[in-house]
Structure 1
Amino acid sequence: MFEALTERLGQVFRRLSGRGRLSERDVDEALREVRLALLEADVHYRVVKTFTERVRARATGAEVLEGLAPAHQVVRIVRDELTQLLGGRAEPLRVDPPWPAVFVMVGLQGSGKTTAAGKLAHLLRRQGRRVLLVACDLQRPAAVAQLEVLARQAGVDFFGVPGGMTPPDVAKAGVAHARRGGHEVVVVDTAGRQHVDEALMAEASHIVEAVQARQVLLVVDAMTGQDAVNVAQAFVARMRIDGIVLTKLDGDARGGAALSVREVTGAPILFAGTGERLDGLEPFHPDRMAGRILGMGDVLTLIERAEQAVEAERAREMVKRLREDAFGLDDFLEQLRQVRRMGPLDQVLAMIPGLGGRLPAGLKVDERELSRIEAIIQSMTPQERRQPSIIDGSRRRRIAAGSGTTVQDVNRLLKQYEEARRMLRHLARGQGPRAGWRRGSL
């Protein structure tokens, strides 16, 4: 979402770094470009004005202009102020006792509220919580059935009634069911509307009061730009909002909602939706998001995704196989699948420090390549997967025909496998990668 903004800011800072010592005029010129970049990214104009004023006040101080590497200090100031703009620090969800802790999801129809409820339930279950999803959206056709499907996919319990009860009564019955069943967390999905109206606010407020909600989470669609900010302002003005869930943050919009909503509403961003899958919801870290926007990567989130994707026991077994030189094509395929579970590859690449800001704007990694690799490996015999060295010309032709690919595709895969095996073997033995390997060969 932030590719265009990242590229524009990167150009500004590169020009600054080429000037050595800076003057106030240099800073003003750079901030003019920053201001334009933020406005083009659909950031609220009042937020842009406040942000640039804060950066200028700090960047024109004697300590910066007369110090060493002033351009680097300006970048640090921009990063710090972006972090503050986004909330300063991560705000955790309050799931401590007394239980059940009840979270009510509110928002407009089409914002991704029901899906966000399922994702939140999935995230909490992975953290070891016993979760109940309660369906109180009785307005939208099939909303109850959709939430039941999400509950099944997330591995959590579900509560819904066929009809005849008001949404607040359903919510109360769901919390009572959770209390009897020993659930620690209840996530309540509520009805939305096409726009903010009094009926929507009244129903949501009655549900919040009926269940004595621990926190009320407003779900807004980041793809709608300034409309998302306007919706958030309308909700905050009419009812209690404890946190915001930004959905579709991996979309093609300009990202202004994420940079505006915290400053404009005062409500913290708790979660960001980054994909269609149930694991596509992650806690929102202002400092990490600021690093992504400035092209500095996000290594902590990358590590967390890797830990979720890779089981510790399987990782130890893989290291053992590498040391024994028993790393075959099945292992290679498993490694690729683990990387795939970390999320879309363009997102993963953007989190690598030093690489995120250098990726071409709008880069989309072709996920079909992984499917092609999988088809080639699955067209091999078990012996060929264990001992790729036996794959001669005739075998390559047979594998290509069986996988619907070409012999060149098979050759390329075997070369990638061999280079990956060699590199991983050296890493497993603590030797590090060899100097002279071609960058990007994997």
Structure 2
Amino acid sequence: MHTGRMRDLLVAALASLPPGPIAVAYSGGLDSSVLLHALAGLPAARERGLRAIHVDHGLQTSSREWGSVCKSVCADLDVPLTVMSVDVERSSGFGLEAAARRSRFAAIQSTLAEDEVVAFAHHRDDQAETVLLKLLRGAGPEGLSAMRKLRRFGVGHAWRPLLGTSRTTLRSYAEQVGLDWISDPSNADTVIDRNYLRMDVLPRLRKRWPEADASITQSADWVRAAADFIEHESNLALARVQGLDPATLRYLQWLELPDALRDPVLRRWLRAIDLPEPNRYQVGELVRQLAEAAEHKLPCIRWPGAEIRRYRDLVYALRPLQMPEAQWRVAWDGKPLPLPAGLGTLRLVDNRGEDLTPAASLSFHVRFRRGGESLRVAANGYTRELRDLFQEAGIPPWERGRIPVVVDAEDQLLAVGDLWISDAGRTCLARHAAHLAWEHALTPA
């Protein structure tokens, strides 16, 4: 590639870039060496504050030497360099390549200034490989649209100005200007899926279809447009079907969404409340159970780290629940009482909200619901079944056994968490100028 064409390409890309300094993700390999060299030759890039970031994964014995090479190159180009070392978790379950990428991205994001732009050297061949990998893994429109030219990246942006440029073109540029670069031996390991595609599959496709890379990239652009439209529509749809509690959805309205929106809305909802997403089978099972389960049933779909439960006209997304032991019961003198199963702390407080000094005359017991409990919530009022109070308050059934109840020595119900106080419990607490306080999160977020 003629250096003038590379210059023109980057000048045009810079003109449409959001304001902010630029940091090149610099591995020392061919692609990032070309990008760093070309940007270093542009006054417009330097004026924004150009620097480089090198991440040492420690996966190769010579990785420290690569850092030294990068320092030398950046010194020659008069570009500041930040070198970072990371420990890649080899047993993450994502595979070594994906784990290294996650560690690298996390390290880069940790050093970014607000609105700083990270320039990655991904090119057209990388894009074609990514599309094929996503296709083979059964990805939807968002995955098949592969890498965006510009997207949010931590507090900054990820920028890929070379997505329309081939690897052959970058090599031509490097040879023309006399660049040296680092060759990572792991790039030749065809056990790694991406390398297998690069070295064995794509060469065969190109031999039969010479424009394979351009065609795949063009398809990715079309899918990107569709994915952006779906993203926009799913954002609007989520606003329509989400309950007042952000962790709930109106499930009938969700089921009525078009197939193209139902899955994206579900995933957008779960991401927003920081819960892991299900696989396609689990989504299908959720749809089936919600559509077929009788109204009085309480379907629950689980996957690692999350579960979705239905109650009335809502579904609730939550982390897997911990339930206290059915027979758990302790004596309580009013001191702060840590509850089992991560259910918070029960306290007796004074009118200022401060912990009450325990008194010998205080003799309560704390346990959890066992069924059949009742209490009188007002003087001269009716005795009410606790079950009915729960239903009237709309408390989901799975939470009812996680609410502590306070009883006296004869097991008479005095309080249900800090939700209801019986007439007898109110009289007892008033004698000590005390109030019941339960610090908790009924549904962990």
TM-score range relative to shorter protein: under 0.3
Q: Which has the higher strand share?
A: 2
Structure number with greater CO (CA < 8 Å, separation at least 6) is 1
Answer with 1 or 2: which has the greater Rg. Answer: 2
TM-score, L = length of structure 2: 0.25
Q: Which has the higher helix share?
A: 1
TM-score, L = length of structure 1: 0.25
